[in-house]
Amino acid sequence: MNEFVEQFLLECRELVAQATDDLIALEENPGDRERIDSTFRAFHTLKGAAGIVEFAAMGRMLHVAEDLLSAARASATAIRPNVLSECLTALDMLSRWLDAMEGSGEVPPAAEAEADQMIARLALTSDAAPVAVAAAVDDHDWLETLRTKAGAAFSQARTAIRYRPDTDAYLRGEDPLALIAGVPGLLQIALGLRDATASLATMDPYASALDILALSAAGSDDVARALAGARDQVALRSLAAPAAATAAPEMARTLLSAQLGLLQETSPDGFLGRLASAGRSAVNVLRHVGDGVAADTVATAADAAIAQNSAAPLVAALEQALGIAAAPPAAVTPDAALVAVPVVAPRALRVDMDRIDALVKLSGELIVVKNAIGHVARLVHDGSDPGAAAAALRRQHALFERLAAELQGAVLRIRVLPLRTVFRRFPKLVRETAVSVGKTVRLLTEGDATEADATIVDALFEPLLHVLRNAVDHGIEDTARRAEAGKSTIGTITLRARRDADSVMIEIEDDGGGIDAGRVREVAQARGIAGAEVLDAMTDAEAIDLVFAAGFSTAATVTNLSGRGVGMDSVRTAVGQLGGQVSIDSRPGQGTIVRMVLPFSLMLTRVMTVEAGGQSFALPLDTIIETTIIDRDRITAIGAGRAFALRDRTVPLIDLAETLGLAQDTSQKPHAKIVVMSAAGQLGALEVDRLGERMDVMLKPMEGLLGGMRGVAGTTLLGDGRVLVVLDVAEIFQ
Amino acid sequence: MTEAAGLRVLIVDDAALIRTYYRAALEPRGYVVDEALNGLEGLEKVLLQAFDMIIVDVNMPQMDGMTFLKVLRAKDLPVGATPVLVTTSEAGPQDMAAARAAGANSYLVKPIRQDVLAQYADMLCGRLP
């Protein structure tokens, strides 16, 4: 047993005696503030002592009693007699426990059950001070609920969480379930309703009625950080096992981040002291972990900060120190509330051990192949049968090809981040934008666990923000108009993501008024984007697509709300730079969907080469459905274009050479070589002169003057130094 | 083990058992430990001699830990710059935010293991590795 038991017993007996005195005096004079304070403090200190000797039952019981006393302390009225008598009973029980401990040196085994009974009795004093005691009872109950529900898992838990989202949490764009799911070390979630008697009929679907209980294996600091966005709706309890010692680099990062957090405080009182203490602490931490260079840098920055009476130099130095120290990047991902580090593309990536292991394994296999090829070379050199050597070489080549592909895949998976890292910044921004234009809008996110290349995830923030702002500002109608249209007065915007083969699909859907194609035509004409005839010939969908045209939205905007008609052309440009596409789908009165299709990774694209008009081009393989050769008489003219029947579907056919302006006459050839493709959900076919080979290429987007070139996705260098143009099929079919 | 020879730590806590517990975590590693029973006594000690670190409880009679911390941070340097570790049994995010606003360099929720406390002291005092 614990070396502190002796002193524990001594001190507890004193405290019990003192608290008993106080309680008896309070029975005489229930309004004595000093006595209430003194009792409260004794219970508080007893609770702390319980922690030192790991006497959990005692801690639990005293916690409930302490809450009762704390409520009495805060209340202006005199403390109720039944609270006093139950607190005295609790002290009697504690005295018996102390006696038992003195005999055995151990925590008495019956204490758990007795503590539970005492907690129930303390809870029954609820008529004394309804609100506070209800909270105390509640507190006990929810921990008990978790204890029952979690079973064995409870013993692994270090933090118990109760999160009761405000009823208007959804309206503020908060997503309680996503928030709780983001808690580190989550062991158990128990969902309940605030009001157990609520029925489906009476429930308001826009009001949160949730009462979320959860257990986490992480410490309360980490849990609190994860839930910082809803801090006033969350109660945390540290459970039995106290924080364990952590690896030094990790703790150093935590402490350095804490100093950064301290520097975010702007109150003028004690500013210099906080600044200097943050600097001194950070220098000490760096010295302790042996990073003398960083310590010196931070020390210099701290001196500069003190001299300038500004946190900026120290903040910069700490950020640098955090960026350099190669350690778990948990702290690099900035946490809005506690560590307000500016968001930049992460220089450090958190990588699963499994993914690294996969790389290690693959590199081992590559070495085996290398040795095998060396063996084949020796065979050839020794003049063995060339046929056999060639066969062996082919086998190794096949193996090498597979390994190279796997290695590439493994490397790509290292660069992957969940979209959550960008999505989670939006609820607050949407809420603020909505408030600024006097609307109520809730943002729902779906599929935020979808992964994509880190570069893409980072670059998505701006375009998504543009689209979301537009949705709030122009998409969602004002309350009066929504009411008129028979819609809920609360607008809904859904931000959803999903993985679709090699691409990532992101949709921003609002339930607003939709885009008025007529107005788009007027604006487009007024701004000289297209002439009246062209505009009239366009379908509504084509007209609406003009919102992406450069110079379309400047001041007055489609849905009348003036102001920040943020250029949707910049969205198309940004998404295009990432190798993606953006489209818009709008129904009058029902809302608008902006859809972005992005590549999963920026690195490699599988293409197939084709020849047309004497030149080579590449088509992205993921857009190709099949290649075929058809008799020319199966091609029929439809309007200005051509089409052919593929099984039971009519597919529009484009002559690639002709479309690209390469003079060509194919009419006399009896057969046509066709590539059937899927672009933006539609089937289409290209006629080419020759079908080439498949290859993986590093796609380089067009830049500078050629950046705006339609129909070209980018270029890549071929092995012989020639430039291969990779076509953007969707744009060609437009 | 390198000794933290001469590094001075002040423990401000009204519970004698807790002070003893912390002292037992630090003294074997070479820290020189002093104690104060509340914030007011803590301030008296801090103004008389320099400490490399202060461990302070929140809930104390006469002067609580938050007030102690705010007064400390308003003192001239270097006293105002002393690294402070706040320890408390309250674990809510608002409690942590309040401690940070008052100028805490770190925050630990009781009960605290002795090895953890020692590790925090090593870091915040800059004990050489």
Smallest Cβ–Cβ distance between B89 and the set A48, A219, A283 belongs to A48
- State the nearest Cα–Cα gap between A237 and chain B, in angstroms: 6
pLDDT in the model for residue A259: 92
Q: In angstroms, rounded to a whole number, what is the distance separating the alpha carbons of residues A179 and A193? A: 17
Please give the mean pLDDT across all residues of chain A: 80
pLDDT in the model for residue A219: 76
Across residues A338-355, what is the average pLDDT? 48
Asked which of A22-31, A140-149, A278-287, A704-713 is least confident by mean pLDDT, the reply is: A140-149
A246 vs B15: CB contact, 8 Å cut-off? Answer: no
Among A417, A413, A407, A408, which residue's Cα sits nearest to residue A604? A408
Q: Pairing mode, if any, of strands B8-12 and B53-57?
A: parallel
Question: Where on the phi/psi map is residue A54: left (φ > 0), alpha (ψ -120 to 50), or beta?
Answer: left
The answer to whether A676 and A541 are in contact (CB under 8 A) is no
* More confident site: A510 or A128: A510
Across residues A368-387, what is the average pLDDT? 85
A221 vs B109: CB contact, 8 Å cut-off? Answer: yes
- State the nearest Cα–Cα gap between B33 and chain A, in angstroms: 18
Q: In angstroms, rounded to a whole number, what is the distance separating the alpha carbons of residues A79 and A125? A: 11
Chain A residues touching B73 at Cβ < 8 A: 269-270, 273-274, 277
- For A220-263, how does the pLDDT look when each residue is reduced to its tens digit (9 = 90+)? 778 888 887 777 788 887 765 445 556 777 888 888 988 988 88
Length of chain B equals: 129
A277 vs B73: CB contact, 8 Å cut-off? Answer: yes
* B 4-43 near A (Cβ less than 8 A): 14-18, 20-21, 24
SS3 A218: coil
* More confident site: A278 or A269: A278
| Dihedral, A137, A222, A445, A443 alpha carbons, nearest 10 | 70
B93 vs A224: CB contact, 8 Å cut-off? Answer: yes
The answer on pLDDT for A215 being more than 90 is no
Output the CA torsion sign for A448, A454, A458, A461: negative
The answer to whether A610 and A691 are in contact (CB under 8 A) is yes
Nearest CA in chain B to A246: B116
pLDDT in the model for residue A665: 66
* More confident site: A190 or A499: A499
* More confident site: A353 or A23: A23
pLDDT in the model for residue A342: 28
Provide block-wise average pLDDT over 10 residues at a time, chain B (129 residues): 71 91 91 93 91 93 91 89 90 78 89 88 87
pLDDT in the model for residue B13: 94
Nearest CA in chain B to A70: B59
Q: In angstroms, rounded to a whole number, what is the distance separating the alpha carbons of residues A448 and A220? A: 25
The answer on pLDDT for A701 being more than 90 is no
- For A622-675, how does the pLDDT look when each residue is reduced to its tens digit (9 = 90+)? 888 888 888 888 888 888 788 988 888 888 898 888 888 876 666 677 888 899
SS3 A182: coil
- For A33-76, how does the pLDDT look when each residue is reduced to its tens digit (9 = 90+)? 889 988 998 998 898 888 888 888 898 899 889 888 888 888 87
Q: In angstroms, rounded to a whole number, what is the distance separating the alpha carbons of residues A702 and B55? A: 60
CB-defined contacts A:B, below 8 A: 181
The answer to whether A549 and A522 are in contact (CB under 8 A) is no
Asked which of A372-376, A486-490, A688-692, A697-701 is least confident by mean pLDDT, the reply is: A697-701
Percent of chain A exceeding pLDDT 70 equals 85
The answer on pLDDT for A327 being more than 60 is no
Smallest Cβ–Cβ distance between B15 and the set A48, A246, A261 belongs to A48
Q: Pairing mode, if any, of strands B53-57 and B32-36?
A: unpaired
Q: In angstroms, rounded to a whole number, what is the distance separating the alpha carbons of residues A220 and A158? A: 7
SS3 A488: coil
The answer on pLDDT for A297 being more than 50 is yes
Q: SS3 letters for A503-536?
A: EEEEEEEECCCCCCHHHHHHHHHHCCCCCHHHHH
Across residues A480-485, what is the average pLDDT? 89
Q: In angstroms, rounded to a whole number, what is the distance separating the alpha carbons of residues A476 and A514? A: 8
The answer to whether B17 and A49 are in contact (CB under 8 A) is yes
CB burial string A602-640: b at 16+ within 10 A, e below: bebbebbbbbbbeeebbbbebbbeebeebeeeebeeeee
B94 vs A231: CB contact, 8 Å cut-off? Answer: yes
Chain B residues touching A276 at Cβ < 8 A: 77-78, 80-81
Bridge partners for B108 per DSSP: B87
Q: Pairing mode, if any, of strands A441-446 and A491-500?
A: parallel
* B 81-100 near A (Cβ less than 8 A): 81-84, 89, 91-94, 96-97, 100
Q: In angstroms, rounded to a whole number, what is the distance separating the alpha carbons of residues B35 and B38? A: 9
Strand order in the sheet with A690-697: A690-697, A605-612, A615-620, A723-727, A712-717
The answer on pLDDT for A339 being more than 50 is no
Asked which of A66-70, A113-117, A331-335, A717-721 is least confident by mean pLDDT, the reply is: A331-335
A281 vs B91: CB contact, 8 Å cut-off? Answer: no
